Chains A and B, each alone.
Chain A
Amino acid sequence: MLTGVKEEKGMAETASTAEGAGHESPDDNKRDFLLYSTIAVGAAGTAMAVWPFIDAMNPSKDVLALASTELDISSIEEGQSITAIWRGKPIFVRRRTAKEIEVAQATELKDLPDPEADKDRVKKSQWLVMIGICTHLGCIPLGQKSGDTKGEFGGWFCPCHGSHYDTSGRIRKGPAPKNLAIPPYKFIDDTNILIG
């Protein structure tokens, strides 16, 4: 213990000498180096220690495990739509009629606020799979049920602020800036799709 006391005394003397000399001590470079390297290592260590706590608030493994949804589409007739849920969001799946496909494919890109060809929005032209959330402020557009108003372009119509989507789910009129988003999905076989 006496040794410890002696060292502290030693430190006290050194410190007062350094202060008295006013940054002229030849040790100053060494001290600056030690100070800055200590701060750097400490900051890096703190960042690494904080990361697990931040990451713990990211989606957990069991949430991610439910992040894809398999869907049987065999019962959907032509001209019908269903709404599925994927990651808590509505997914519009529509089996389009030949006329709807034709209209969608014939639309000129220059007529579109968010130009995108119909073939880029579907994997099989008959099946349109979209996230059913208006790109304006997140409402769910009408047009899924047979009685719903489908807007001026025969696709979907958002009742909140009047955005009109066409038969390819592209924005045509109203405040929404983008087309209805396409989720990642693939056809497992002819009648089943895997979303996510």
Chain B
Amino acid sequence: MSTPTWKNPIVQWVDHRLPIVTFLDHAIVKYPTPRNLNYWWNFGSLAGVILVVMIGTGIMLAMNYVPHTSMAFDSVERIMRDINYGWLIRYLHVNGGSMFFICVYIHIFRGMYYGSYKEPRELLWIIGIFIFLAMMATAFLGYVLPWGQMSFWGATVITNLFSVVPFFGEAIVQWLWGGFSVDNPTLNKFFSFHYLLPFIIFALVFIHLWALHTHKSSNPLGIEVQGDEDEIPFHPYYTAKDAYGFGVFLIVFLGFTFFAPNFFGEPDNYIEANPLVTPTHIVPEWYFLPFYAILRAVPDNFVDIWGILPVIIPAKTAGVIAMFASILVLLVLPWLDTSKVRSAKFRPTYFWLFWLFFIDTIILGYIGAKPAEGTFLLIGRLATAYYFLHLVIFMPLVGKYEKTKPLPDSISAAVTAGGSDAKEGS
């Protein structure tokens, strides 16, 4: 890596002592990027932008939010009514959370479709899953802060999940609560952690980017970059493409923020928390619904039926294990997928399996919003079974037995062939 010289003497002076300009030049200006990235590659940088929006609006909200059970709900209403533009900042934060998950889910599915997690990008994927886990924790903690009915009962239900831990369950739950129920100490520590975690996510994002920039972006064809003819510099090509995508994204984000700010929310959370009354129908935020469906899908007597460790694992534990497993199994996806071919474009069987898996998660999300009874419960169980079937059984088998399509010789060869075909066609 040769050290460039800069025309501007101040830039040169700084860069000679702290090569920050050189670093940025390598990372976001000259950074060689596959020339064939499509718009599905926009969502990583979009997620990064929303993270900044969330931290920015969050810091503003914390200036007026009071983490105390007697004042939290009112302080949020004060933000909505009395603080200048408080309504805007809070609605940006609330809808930003949903947008963050939309972008990250698209980002994850993109990685699955194009096999981005495969060698040598396994660790990049794993760091991403940790970011996803940290996001889920942050979102859950943040949802508790307004101290509405859903906040309170969501906190109660989720913290009670930990009661299934053998022997120490009750002690852990009391430790989480800082008492004997969800109360002021719980709210205080949730606020503290909700403020801390985004900065940990921020750090993880940099590690994610570090890993990304080590082996560079994958691409829709899933074949390795072979030379300069396969790449273009990040700036101006992908800065422009990302900026355009950001504009489109802002239309959606601000559309919700201004015209349907409570679209993703639950009306019950505008009722102040009441420890004596549980809402009739508790649902988590939409981004947790598939996992919530998995939690409820596992029958209480599951373990008894199958006779697996019935003494150590109490009945209700199975659902909790299934829910956590549904996320943690993604950590080993790079090894569950045994195919040498990355992109689903060249994997005719996996192509369909991917879309079935996608539909399966949508079904799980739908079921998660419905009461766990009757047909819903049955569909939820089938969809849960399919979720694990896909990841643990189908992925390894399909990789072994699938007959893949021939890969193009190089990115530029594929692009040139496609380009000239299109020209001749028109």
Residues of A within 8 A of B (CB): 1-6, 8-9, 11-12, 15, 52-53, 55-58, 60-63
Q: How far is the CA of A151 from the CA of B220 in the complex (A)?
A: 85
CB pair A56 B83 closer than 8 Å: yes
Q: Which parts of B371-426 form the interface with A (CB within 8 Å)?
A: 415-416, 418-419, 421-423
Q: How far is the CA of A8 from the CA of B234 in the complex (A)?
A: 12
CB pair A2 B419 closer than 8 Å: yes
**11 pairs, A vs B, C-beta closer than 8 Å:** A1-B38, A2-B422, A5-B36, A6-B419, A6-B423, A8-B237, A11-B237, A12-B35, A56-B86, A62-B78, A62-B82
Main secondary structure of the interface of A (DSSP, over half): helix
Given contacts A56-B83, A62-B82, contact A9 B419 (CB under 8 A): yes
Q: Which parts of B67-102 form the interface with A (CB within 8 Å)?
A: 78, 81-86, 88-89
- Contacts across chains A and B counted by CB atoms under 8 Å: 66
Chain B residues contacting A53 (CB-CB under 8 Å) are 56, 60, 85, 89
Chain B residues contacting A57 (CB-CB under 8 Å) are 63
Q: Which parts of B82-126 form the interface with A (CB within 8 Å)?
A: 82-86, 88-89
Judge whether B310 is part of the interface by a CB distance below 8 angstroms: no
Task: Name the CB-closest residue of B to A2.
Answer: B418
CB distance from A72 to the nearest CB of B (A): 28
Chain A residues contacting B419 (CB-CB under 8 Å) are 2, 5-6, 9
Chain A residues contacting B60 (CB-CB under 8 Å) are 53, 56
Q: How far is the CA of A3 from the CA of B220 in the complex (A)?
A: 14
Chain B residues contacting A1 (CB-CB under 8 Å) are 36, 38, 220
Q: How far is the CA of A4 from the CA of B205 in the complex (A)?
A: 28
Q: How far is the CA of A63 from the CA of B81 in the complex (A)?
A: 12
Q: How far is the CA of A9 from the CA of B413 in the complex (A)?
A: 12
Q: How far is the CA of A62 from the CA of B81 in the complex (A)?
A: 9
Given contacts A1-B220, A5-B35, A15-B236, contact A52 B89 (CB under 8 A): yes
Chain B residues contacting A2 (CB-CB under 8 Å) are 418-419, 421-422
